[in-house]
């Protein structure tokens, strides 16, 4: 099939709706966030000196701009159209990504599909609402709970919360099943990046604060390495014989119940 004969990819109506309102929400968010310091500076006549402000922000930009670009490239294929809400509310890697991936796995839908986008949007929205509720409760009860929160065993346990979360999140990468397909040998694609990052850290080339830059460097290396391994047959993708879409499963159950009732 020639390039001209290839069917052009079109978004599902739900995905089109999500992307349209996601872009509108992001624009409104940026306007809102930028207007807060502008209004405060105007009302109280306390605008900072622009040259000093820019010189101070250079270091911040060099750190967070690469991180933002790298996160957008790496998170969007997984979260789909719910990426807009995820970036607006934050806590992506430690909250939004795990719940989205787990929900899609439970629902037996693939990333990048309309069904996957719908499931991801629902759980990201639910986790965002839950985060706000938990923060509100924490603000109300932070003073009464201060003795408990500062208690030694509780402080020690909280130190392990994030590693435990990332540990459970990492276990998903060892699974061969990925919705409709089974991926064999996918961890081989991470060998070269792990070696390079480890060697760079030991040699002192990669330092704290360079995470975004490291991710941007390692993303194309990982993709190229995985592609080469896939071409050589070291990484294989096969149909999952046990895959049953949630929607198909529900339809079969409904049909069986209807037949039994009749």
The tens digit of pLDDT for each residue in 193-233 reads 889 888 888 888 887 767 667 777 887 888 888 888 888 88
**How large is the C-alpha radius of gyration of the chain?**
23
Side by side, the strands of the sheet bearing 177-178 are: 177-178, 181-184, 236-239
Position 249 scores a pLDDT of 45
Torsion of CA 240, 245, 250, 255, to 10 degrees: -70
The pLDDT of 151-164, averaged and rounded, is 76
Average pLDDT over the chain reads: 76
Label residue 186 by pLDDT band (50, 70, 90): confident
The pLDDT tens digits of the residues spanning 42-63 come to: 888 887 777 877 777 776 776 6
The pLDDT tens digits of the residues spanning 33-45 come to: 888 888 888 888 8
Yes or no: say if 222 and 193 are a contact pair by the CB < 8 Å rule.
yes
The pLDDT tens digits of the residues spanning 83-134 come to: 888 888 887 877 888 888 888 878 878 777 788 888 888 899 998 898 888 8
The pLDDT of 15-28, averaged and rounded, is 86
d(CA 196, CA 206): 10
Beta strands in the chain (DSSP E): 177-178, 181-184, 236-239
Residues 6+ apart with CB under 8 A from 73: 216, 219
């Amino acid at each position: 099939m020639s390039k001209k004969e290839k069917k052009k990819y079109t978004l599902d109506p739900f995905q089109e709706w999500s992307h349209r309102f996601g872009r509108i929400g992001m624009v409104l968010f940026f306007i809102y966030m930028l207007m807060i310091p502008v209004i405060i500076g105007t009302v109280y006549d306390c605008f900072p000196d622009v040259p000093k402000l820019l010189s101070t922000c250079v270091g911040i930009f060099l750190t967070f701009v690469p991180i933002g670009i790298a996160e957008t490239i790496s998170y969007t294929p997984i979260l789909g159209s719910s990426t807009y809400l995820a970036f607006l509310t934050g806590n992506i890697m430690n909250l939004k990504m795990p719940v989205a991936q787990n929900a899609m796995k439970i629902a037996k839908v693939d990333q990048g599909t309309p069904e996957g986008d719908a499931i991801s949007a629902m759980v990201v929205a639910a986790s965002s609402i839950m985060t706000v509720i938990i923060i509100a409760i924490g603000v109300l009860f932070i003073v009464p709970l201060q003795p408990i929160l500062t208690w030694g065993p509780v402080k020690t346990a909280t130190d392990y919360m994030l590693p435990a979360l990332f540990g459970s999140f990492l276990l998903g990468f060892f699974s061969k099943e990925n919705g409709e397909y089974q991926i064999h040998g996918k961890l081989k694609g991470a060998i070269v990046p792990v070696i390079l990052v480890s060697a760079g850290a030991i040699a002192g080339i990669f330092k704290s604060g360079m995470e975004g830059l490291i991710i941007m460097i390692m993303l194309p290396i990982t993709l190229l390495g995985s592609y080469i391994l896939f071409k050589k047959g070291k990484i294989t993708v096969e149909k999952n014989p046990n895959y049953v879409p949630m929607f198909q499963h529900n339809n079969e159950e409904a049909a069986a119940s209807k037949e039994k009732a009749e």
